[in-house]
Amino acid sequence: MATEIVLPELGGEIESVIIKRWNFNEGDRVNEGDDLVELSLNQGVFNLPSPVNGVILEILVEEGDEVEIGEALVTIEDE
């Protein structure tokens, strides 16, 4: 089963972030807790961990893109 990972609420009045760097590529295996992506915020850099074990099927946003809360980032095939 595939899981679509969305940008979660980050607290405060944060409405969007910039995708700074993906730590994995499509086809890579990730473990729950692995840092998937670095997000750039006004307060600095935030790492978003994977909530599941699996294989990255599709990265839906590119480095440098601005992403809003609730927007899909990546699809992972669950193990």
Q: Please, are residues 71 and 61 in contact by the beta-carbon 8 Å criterion?
A: yes
- Please enumerate in sequence order all residues whose Cβ is within 8 A of that of 75, keeping only pairs 6 or more positions apart, or say none: 2, 3, 4, 5, 56, 57, 58, 60
Report the predicted TM-score, pTM, of the whole model to 2 decimal places.
0.91
Answer CATH for 2-78 from 2.40.50.100, 3.20.20.10, 3.90.420.10, 2.40.30.130: 2.40.50.100
Burial 44-54 (b: 16+ CB within 10 A, else e): eeeebebebeb
Task: Give the angle subtended at the CA of 36 by the CAs of 61 and 54, to the nearest 5°.
Answer: 100
* Cβ contacts of 43-46, under 8 Å, gap ≥ 24: 45/20, 46/10, 46/17
pLDDT, mean over the chain: 95
What stretches in the chain show pLDDT beneath 70?
none
Amino acid 50: pLDDT: 97
